[in-house]
Structure 1
Amino acid sequence: MKVKLGDVIQLNPSEKLPKGERARKIAMDNVDTYAREISGFDFDEYKGGTKFRNEDTLLARITPCLENGKTAYVNILEKDEVAFGSTEYFVLRANKELINPLYLYYLSVSSDFRTVAIKSMTGTSGRQRVQKEAILNYEFDLPSLKEQERIVSRIGCLDDKKALNDRINDNLDLLLTTIFENKINNKNFTKA
């Protein structure tokens, strides 16, 4: 069935987070390029910015972040926790009766969606932003929820494997650094 994205999501949904309250902050630097997983966070005093929950998709709306693939799926928060981040995010929240939240994430990183979003950018050079209307009016074929879940389970397995491989590589980097530092600090060099 052909739908507009605005018919199946909330864009920048309203959330309560009082100014001055300490909360989890996900900065643009914590959203890697072409990676589903959020790479980190800080706790900071909320002064402003977009607010979101688990199962929301964060979409960078400014150049060059969008072109570089900065889009992430929020899955690191506690139950009912509200976090915040850059004002340069669009927050996409799925209407779960119509679209699977992970399907929405994968749709938002698709080349067709990204092409439409990038073409809608306006503003001065270096500070261009995606237009809200382009996101809401984006048309696509929406499969049934059952089909969405089948697609997400297949693609999700690959993303899960990528995330695991990334953690393994991070651990190997740490191990190599630790071994190197031990050798340097102990000065146990063997002569060749």
Structure 2
Amino acid sequence: MTKTKSQSKTWRKVRLGEFANINPTVQIQRGKEYPFLDMADVAPLSRTTNWQKRKVFKGSGARFEENDTLFARITPCLENGKITQAQELKSPAFGSTEFYVLRGKQGISNSDFIHYLSRTFRIRKLAEGSMVGASGRQRVERAAFENIEVEVPENLETQKRIADILSAFDDKIELNNKISKNLEATAQAIFKEWFVNFKFPGHEKIKMVDSELGKIPEGWEVKKLADIVGLDKGISYKGSGLNKSGMPMINLGCFMRGGKFSYDNLKYYSGDYKPRHIAEIGDLLVSNTDITQEREIIGNPVIVEEWLGNKKYLFTHHIYILRPKSDLNKTFLYYLLRQSAFRARVIGAAAGTNILGLSKEAISSFEIIIPPAELVEKFTAMASQILEKISSIKHENQKLSALRDLLLPKLMSGEIKI
């Protein structure tokens, strides 16, 4: 876009290395514990506020502070948008060696503006184009990264106003995420109170009896998952069938640490598949593979939702679908699989050297306690309302993200004047 005469005076072309501090000095001590950010923990084009993971600093790793931006420099992490800004960070931190750290320069650039600048399609594509090295391990060289030409407002206040507009969207998205997290925690707490601690409505009148799993309420049953669900593995797809269009396909990349799930990582497949490889709205899926070695992804359940108009999905061989053999509600099963007892089974049964796998037998032989149908229905009525609210929040966030991403290049290029 051709800029107006007045606009050209307020924007200038400059090398990224002149505009931003790249890998600024951060003082941290060897042998001391600090917040740590692994590449796998970074959500694409995001702001990170969860600093529960900590490690002892042994001398290597990207060092950063509050408001710094971490920019993945290695394939395929850069192509996957592994760019995040550190927020709500109370101390210095460090992370993967495969990050570049960006920070504003005193009197020249605003750190929030730099974060959104780094998220623009142009910067990411120029960085990707400068990668060198062996296939599969290509990296952006620092000199090439610093030499990327950017066009930016000279005025710091203009930079701040642009960043504030974009930050407002992310602030709302993060607030919504916190609401969703609290709603999910509420549903899980009710499930645990009723079906693990046996403090369900009217429990005072029910006698406790012996079972294979210890004392349970009279009238409840112990069964194996195989008695109530059938398991099918997803499609072993061919890479040649992956396209920008086709059938949306839920894959291992959709399952994230902390039990989170993202439809942003869907793939699209135009190859052959069978009816058993299709999941529909309301179906229950469980991941059966993990490459993190920390067992944070394997065994995580998700209930399939409509997303961007998609109502049917393929799912890959890294995922099982659980199809109830009876009328037992999938919402009840979902919260059952979120409990610590199932997590313990998954952690103990996951096997493999570099890639962990979970067998059908490990899931199907898991023993569970089945309560009376009327109690399951009562819980499901409450939990379904919570899940609907969470789903509504996800769709609102998707719209907010889309609007933010629409404004991002226009604000960053000066097409929209601030």
TM-score by length of 2: 0.43
Q: Are the counterparts in 2 of residues 23 and 44 from structure 1 also a CA contact under 8 Å?
A: yes
Which of 57, 60, 74 lines up with 2:69 in the alignment? 57
Cα distance in structure 1, aligned partners of 2:21 and 2:161: 23
Cα distance in structure 2, aligned partners of 1:179 and 1:132: 51
Amino acid at match of 1:10: N
Which of 146, 149, 156 lines up with 1:139 in the alignment? 149
**Identity of paired residues, percent?**
37
Amino acid at match of 2:171: D
Cα distance in structure 2, aligned partners of 1:42 and 1:24: 6
Bigger Cα displacement from structure 2, 4-13 vs 104-113: 4-13
Q: Which has the higher strand share?
A: 2
Cα distance in structure 2, aligned partners of 1:23 and 1:76: 14
Cα distance in structure 2, aligned partners of 1:124 and 1:118: 14
Bigger Cα displacement from structure 2, 167-176 vs 100-109: 167-176
Q: Are the counterparts in 1 of residues 51 and 89 from structure 2 also a CA contact under 8 Å?
A: no
Q: Is residue 72 of structure 2 the alignment partner of residue 74 of structure 1?
A: no
Matches within 5 A, 1:44-123: 44-47=55-58, 48-78=60-90, 81-123=91-133
Q: Are the counterparts in 1 of residues 36 and 51 from structure 2 also a CA contact under 8 Å?
A: no
| Aligned residue pairs, count | 190
Cα distance in structure 1, aligned partners of 2:30 and 2:19: 30
Q: Are the counterparts in 2 of residues 36 and 73 from structure 1 also a CA contact under 8 Å?
A: yes
Amino acid at match of 2:135: S
Amino acid at match of 1:106: Y
Q: Is residue 162 of structure 2 the alignment partner of residue 170 of structure 1?
A: no
Q: Are the counterparts in 1 of residues 47 and 87 from structure 2 also a CA contact under 8 Å?
A: no
Cα distance in structure 2, aligned partners of 1:141 and 1:156: 20
Bigger Cα displacement from structure 2, 167-176 vs 88-97: 167-176
Highest CA radius of gyration, 1 or 2? 2
Amino acid at match of 1:61: R
Deviations 1:117-145 (A, max 9, x none): 11111222221212212321111211121
Cα distance in structure 1, aligned partners of 2:56 and 2:105: 30
Q: Which runs of 5+ in 2 are unaligned?
A: 1-11, 201-371, 378-418
Q: Which runs of 5+ in 1 are unaligned?
A: none
Bigger Cα displacement from structure 2, 20-29 vs 96-105: 20-29
Which of 29, 42, 46 lines up with 1:18 in the alignment? 29
Structure possessing the higher relative contact order (Cα contacts under 8 Å, 6 or more residues apart): 1
User: What secondary structure does 2:179 align onto?
Assistant: helix
C-alpha displacement of 1:40:
3.4
Q: Are the counterparts in 2 of residues 37 and 163 from structure 1 also a CA contact under 8 Å?
A: no
Amino acid at match of 1:184: F
Cα distance in structure 2, aligned partners of 1:138 and 1:91: 15
TM-score by length of 1: 0.90
Q: Are the counterparts in 1 of residues 15 and 146 from structure 2 also a CA contact under 8 Å?
A: yes
Cα distance in structure 2, aligned partners of 1:4 and 1:93: 14
Deviations 1:143-180 (A, max 9, x none): 12121111111111001001111111222222222222
Which of 40, 54, 78 lines up with 1:29 in the alignment? 40
Cα distance in structure 2, aligned partners of 1:126 and 1:170: 36
User: What secondary structure does 1:142 align onto?
Assistant: strand
Tell me the C-alpha RMSD between the 2 structures: 1.8
Q: Are the counterparts in 2 of residues 25 and 43 from structure 1 also a CA contact under 8 Å?
A: yes
